[in-house]
Amino acid sequence: MTLHPTIVFIFGGSGDLTNRKLIPALYNLYLDRFLPEKYTVVGIGRTPISDEDYRNNLLTGVRDFSRRKDQLDVKWTEFAQNVHYQSRDLKDDNSYRGIFEWIEQKGAEWGVVPNVIFYLSVAPQLAPGIATKLHQHKICEDRSAQGSFLKNLSDTICKAHAS
Ligand SMILES: NC(=O)c1ccc[n+]([C@@H]2O[C@H](COP(=O)([O-])OP(=O)(O)OC[C@H]3O[C@@H](n4cnc5c(N)ncnc54)[C@H](OP(=O)(O)O)[C@@H]3O)[C@@H](O)[C@H]2O)c1
């Protein structure tokens, strides 16, 4: 089965849960070939971090916390080349404009409307505001011809929080 190209945004990408659980889990999926051929993981936090430093921080997390540390020398490098970090304040509308444009650019590069997953790894009190802004900036709207479960699910959640 061919998996549809997918972008995974981790809101709170500079935080402990990302380092301890989320990236090790995604890396396991990569090792087991459960990620799509075209995927991108984008961590988001306010702290300025370069992609290179971000990947090195995450590698330390995998070394410290993952059950699977096999093939790190080769496979981590492959996996991490599709991992990026963006410094954005999730209370700021400009951040959502940037996210929207970034998704559009990635879709154009891939030649598809990608699935987009938002993982909210932030303090719970930030979640309603984030969902509202995702809805207001039309980031959850399904722009593909066929639709997709994940996008529709995201949109439902965004609308529920925004209403
Ligand atoms: N850590 C765990 O093992 C664990 C386990 C179960 C559940 N959780 C839950 O998971 C969530 C995250 O926990 P955590 O331990 O990872 O917390 P954390 O280490 O404090 O991380 C919080 C993240 O939120 C980001 N953030 C905060 N305000 C932001 C803003 N305005 N704009 C953009 N990013 C912002 C921080 O980035 P910057 O500081 O760079 O902005 C950081 O990346 C919490 O709800 C927690 O209860 C955590």
Residue 26 belongs to domain with CATH number: 3.40.50.720
Residue 92 CB–ligand 1 contact under 6 Å? no
Strands (E), the chain: 6-11, 39-45, 83-87, 115-120
* Residue 1 included in any domain: no
Q: How many CA atoms lie within 13 A of 6 on its CB side?
A: 18
* Ligand 1 pocket: which of 18, 46, 90, 125 to mutate (most atoms within 8 A of CB): 46
Sheet holding 83-87, edge to edge: 83-87, 39-45, 6-11, 115-120
Instruction: Provide the pLDDT confidence category of residue 122 given band limits of 50, 70 and 90.
Output: very high
Overall pTM > 0.95: no
Number of domains in the chain: 1
Which residues, in sequence order, are CB contacts of 148 under 8 Å at separation 6+? 4, 115, 142
* Residue 116 included in any domain: yes
Retrieve residue 79's tokens.
Answer: 């996996």
* Residue 44 included in any domain: yes
Q: Are strands 39-45 and 83-87 parallel, antiparallel or unpaired?
A: parallel
Range of the domain at 79: 6-162
Secondary structure (3-state) at 17: helix
CA 2 to chain CA centroid, Å, is 20
If one counts every other C-beta atom within 10 angstroms of the C-beta of residue 2, the result is 6
* Residue 138 included in any domain: yes
* Residue 97 included in any domain: yes
Q: What is the pLDDT of residue 145?
A: 52
Q: How many CA atoms lie within 13 A of 117 on its CB side?
A: 15
Model pLDDT for residues 57-94, shown as the tens digit of each residue: 999 999 999 998 878 989 999 999 999 999 999 999 99
Q: What is the pLDDT of residue 149?
A: 44
Retrieve residue 143's tokens.
Answer: 């722009």
Q: What is the pLDDT of residue 146?
A: 46
144 CA distance to ligand 1 middle (Å)? 31
Atom number in ligand 1 closest to CA 47? 40
